[in-house]
Structure 1
Amino acid sequence: MKEIYKYSELINDLELQIAEDTYREGDKLPSIRELALRYDCNKSTVIRALQDLQDKHLIYAASKSGYYVMKRSGERKEEGAHWIDFTASAPDPDIFPYLDFQHCINKAIDMYRKDLFIYGTPQGLPSLIREMQRQLASYQVFADSKQIFITSGVQQALGLLTRIPFPNGRERVLIEQPSYPLFMEYLKTYDIETEGIRRSDDGVDLDELERLFKTGEFKFFYTVPRFHNPLGVSFTRNQKKAIAQLAAKYDVYIVEDDYMADLEQDAKQDPIFAYDNTSHVIYLKSFSKIIFPGLRVGVAILPEVLCESFNRFKRLMDIDSSMLSQAALELYLKSGMFERHRKKMRSCYGKRSMLLHDSIMREANAASEQHYSYVPASQLAVHTYLKLTDGIRAEQMIKRLQKKSIRVEMADSGYLPYFAKESILKLNVSSVKEPDIPSGIEQVIREIR
């Protein structure tokens, strides 16, 4: 067991160091003996890890010389001739599990050749649903297989939930402010009556939430319980319990978008779903932020009372979600590749989160006049925000930063048109290389000043 752990630690570290430019094209890796000493493992473990990296075309062996980093597609031509993008929320392409997932796709075609090229079922590939049931249990989400639906991303699930009838007979939607811009665009486009409630560093005002629930007007309340984007904050355990209790008391459903669940470091932090005793919480999860956006596979866990209508509406929308993607994801989950990739992403995002926080704090401590406020979350996320003071001309500041090849944006698209916006500058480092984070933050804050 020790060598398995050491192998995982070694290959994850080397992959990250190559992706982050610690080792650049042509750099020689430490010797097998040196790596064995550094990671306190057998030489055979090191050789296996290096062979696997070679199979992934990340390194190559030179006879009697050692192992070297290979040229990668999309390599930066010269230092400084690139953008630092604090607006992108997708994972870093350099750490996508291309080769592992390609292997799963090829194997899926071979294994499921009779099933993949015909229409499937609206609920999803049965073998993936069984595997998903096992995976979800590790998030403290326990559900019968008939409650689990595979969707074409969380966006499809949200669209369906706004349109299907709910047992409470209501149609209005309550949504956090700020919130997920694409969902709000959907609500606006389809003229869904919507109201907002402010989300802050302290969560939502539970008294205000109860007042809104008590009106008896809302079909469901949409919330992102942890690593909220753009705020980066998470609900406390007591807040999650209270929200579940209010939902039961006033017959309002909770749509819990737990899209960052895989980056949770605290095993004791359960979703709102874990505190639901009356089947009022709908749990949504996506794999796009931890594997890659193009996968377009999400999962929805529904109360039994909603399953029939959800299934009927989904069948009319797309018959089924991509069977090939579903089959490949099933193999990716079963093989242990996903767990290894998840550990790598947690490590990578953990480092970037800490760098983002430390860089902001360092700049704050270096100046007497700031023109912004920053409240670090109890759990650091790859995204956070700066609240700008009155008088800051955000549009001009953003244009000046663009001339320096730095992209930033305000959180305005996360607000409903009539809701009072706060002057929030979003900062996301999920696609920013570690060496660029301190220098990028320094320039952003310099422009704010």
Structure 2
Amino acid sequence: MYKYLSLLNEIENMIERGNYRQGERIPSIRSLSVSYHCNKSTVLRALAELERKHIIYSLSKSGYYVVTSNAELNQGENLGLDFSSSSPDPAVFPYLDFQHCINQAIDIYKNDLFIYGTPRGLPSLIDVVQKQLNNYQVFAKKQNIFITSGIQQALSILAVIPFPNNRKTILIEQPGYHLFIESLQTLQIPVIGIRRTSNGIDLAELERLFREENIKFFYTMPRYHNPLGTSYSQKEKKEILELAQKYNVFIVEDDYLADFEQNSKADPIYSYDDFTHVIYLKSYSKVIFPGLRIGIAVIPDKLIETFSQYKRILDIDSSMLSQAALEIYIKNGMFERHKEKMKATYFSRANCLISALENKQKECNQTNFSYTPIKNIAFHTYIELNEQISCEKVIHRLKNKSIIVDGATNNYLRSFPARDSILKLNISNVEEEYIEEGISQIVKQIF
């Protein structure tokens, strides 16, 4: 990696950690050159890029200073906080690193990037991904790995292709991933739900559905469920797999937040399978940026031919340029470094969110809402409102205060009867220093 990028990232990280505060002067060009063992031109290039990103600004004959945020300039006004978005914070997108990888990909692959590829994906990226998946205890052969245009494309294909068990109905957790729910209902694909709460799912009910219903596959988010933020225990994962194997039901495991796992012993369901019943999906959208549209699908042998055929019909291949850039981004160590940066940022914000919710619940001592503490959340959780409280009215009142939150209506099937009245809370786009005040304002509007 270029030296100036390393320096740029280090200064940016120090600003985010508060080593250099808003309005504060950062060390001189000479000092940075000595500290980081590089020449002045390297320092100047890094500072120029930081200035271009509006992170610092320069004053003639004075030096470089940290930009004061809009939030700080507008103290006393409405906060303008978005607790609804689950997309990564644009402020931490790895723009320059990835731009470097795109340029390098064009230099390396040249014309190969601008012609049709293969439905399976760029072979050199698959090589890299195979090694990376080992870190998640997903030991897959190359022929079982497909590069897809995000997890959404993989789910769309799996929803319509015939499965070896010759069944038609898809079982999903409720609440669940809203875009997949919308897709299934729009395409009128047979689908039923099973209730999931902070305590997990009823395994006896799961077995009944596997036994009595025509279940093709069970779509689940074992880790950091969307929108609840909860995770299954290892015992629950093994029991779910045992039931699937017993009744010949496939499991589609959406591990979209695998990179944010804090517990090194938390393995996916796939790791317990014999490579026959679990389809493993992984995304890069939450770590890098949503527009990348690169997902990974690990497909069992008996589904490879059908999955490949349908994928080829749908889009021939996923973006070759994005695939090549991602390959370089991972191989150069940029992905791991950025992942650790994101984990640290979100872990700190998540702890702040948990603390704020627990304190408010104790302080208020009321029954208008409840919060069930969740260990090791990634960046989202939820609070449940009393059934007498209108979720829509709370959302509207908060909007008038410039605080955006969302309910879970879209996370349920239209036909699912047992819906909880919950407010989803995401902190991926809320800076740590404003989380406590934001939660305080949210609680004030629940009455």
Name the TM-score, length of structure 2 as normaliser: 0.90
1: CA distance between counterparts of 2:441 and 2:68? 30
2: CA distance between counterparts of 1:377 and 1:335? 35
Conservation of the 8 A alpha-carbon contact between 2:391 and 2:422: no
Question: Partner of 1:195 in structure 2?
Answer: 192
Question: Partner of 1:244 in structure 2?
Answer: 241
Tell me the amino acid that sits aligned with residue 441 of structure 2: Q
Question: Partner of 2:349 in structure 1?
Answer: 352
Tell me the amino acid that sits aligned with residue 207 of structure 1: A
Question: Partner of 1:439 in structure 2?
Answer: 437
Question: Partner of 2:47 in structure 1?
Answer: 54
Question: Partner of 2:427 in structure 1?
Answer: 429
1:31-58 Cα offsets, whole Å, 9 max, x none, are 799999xxxxx93369999678536425
2: CA distance between counterparts of 1:103 and 1:341? 14
- Identical counterparts, % of pairs: 52
2: CA distance between counterparts of 1:370 and 1:381? 27
Q: How many Å apart are 1:11 and its aligned residue? A: 7.2
Mark the CA change 1:311 to 1:194 in structure 2 (over 3 Å): closer, same or farther: same
* Greater Cα offset, 331-340 or 208-217: 208-217
User: Of 399, 402, 414, which residue of structure 2 is paired with 1:417?
Assistant: 414
Tell me the amino acid that sits aligned with residue 169 of structure 1: N
2: CA distance between counterparts of 1:327 and 1:147? 19
Q: How does 1:271-350 map to 2 (within 5 A)?
A: 271-350=268-347
* Greater Cα offset, 266-275 or 361-370: 361-370
Structure 2 residue 74 is matched with structure 1 residue 78: yes
| Residues matched between the structures, number | 437
* Greater Cα offset, 202-211 or 49-58: 49-58
Q: What is the CA RMSD across the aligned residues, in angstroms?
A: 2.8
Tell me the amino acid that sits aligned with residue 78 of structure 1: N
Tell me the amino acid that sits aligned with residue 43 of structure 1: S
Conservation of the 8 A alpha-carbon contact between 1:131 and 1:333: yes
Q: How many Å apart are 1:376 and its aligned residue? A: 1.1
Displaced runs of 4 or more, over 4 A: 10-14, 19-26, 30-36, 45-53, 58-67, 74-77
Mark the CA change 1:32 to 1:269 in structure 2 (over 3 Å): closer, same or farther: farther
Question: Partner of 2:182 in structure 1?
Answer: 185
1:6-51 Cα offsets, whole Å, 9 max, x none, are x98x976742453588756642136799999xxxxx9336999967
Q: How many Å apart are 1:204 and its aligned residue? A: 1.2
Q: How does 1:33-432 map to 2 (within 5 A)?
A: 43-44=35-36, 53-54=46-47, 56-57=49-50, 58-59=55-56, 67-69=64-66, 78-79=74-75, 80=77, 83-215=80-212, 217-419=214-416, 420-432=418-430
Mark the CA change 1:276 to 1:65 in structure 2 (over 3 Å): closer, same or farther: same
Mark the CA change 1:448 to 1:81 in structure 2 (over 3 Å): closer, same or farther: closer
Conservation of the 8 A alpha-carbon contact between 2:140 and 2:298: yes
1: CA distance between counterparts of 2:160 and 2:85? 30
1:371-413 Cα offsets, whole Å, 9 max, x none, are 1111111222311111101211222221111111001111111
Conservation of the 8 A alpha-carbon contact between 1:19 and 1:94: no
1:257-277 Cα offsets, whole Å, 9 max, x none, are 000000001111110100112
Conservation of the 8 A alpha-carbon contact between 2:126 and 2:145: yes
| Structure 1 runs not aligned, ≥5 long | 37-41
Tell me the amino acid that sits aligned with residue 387 of structure 1: E
Mark the CA change 1:290 to 1:82 in structure 2 (over 3 Å): closer, same or farther: same
Q: How many Å apart are 1:367 and its aligned residue? A: 1.7
* Greater Cα offset, 394-403 or 165-174: 394-403
State the SS of the aligned residue for 1:283. Answer: strand
Q: How many Å apart are 1:215 and its aligned residue? A: 2.0
Tell me the amino acid that sits aligned with residue 36 of structure 2: S
State the SS of the aligned residue for 1:435. Answer: helix
Mark the CA change 1:106 to 1:75 in structure 2 (over 3 Å): closer, same or farther: farther
Mark the CA change 1:426 to 1:15 in structure 2 (over 3 Å): closer, same or farther: same
Mark the CA change 1:411 to 1:22 in structure 2 (over 3 Å): closer, same or farther: farther
| Structure 2 runs not aligned, ≥5 long | none
2: CA distance between counterparts of 1:351 and 1:124? 36
2: CA distance between counterparts of 1:47 and 1:375? 53
1:68-120 Cα offsets, whole Å, 9 max, x none, are 33689x98863446620111000000000000001101111111112011110
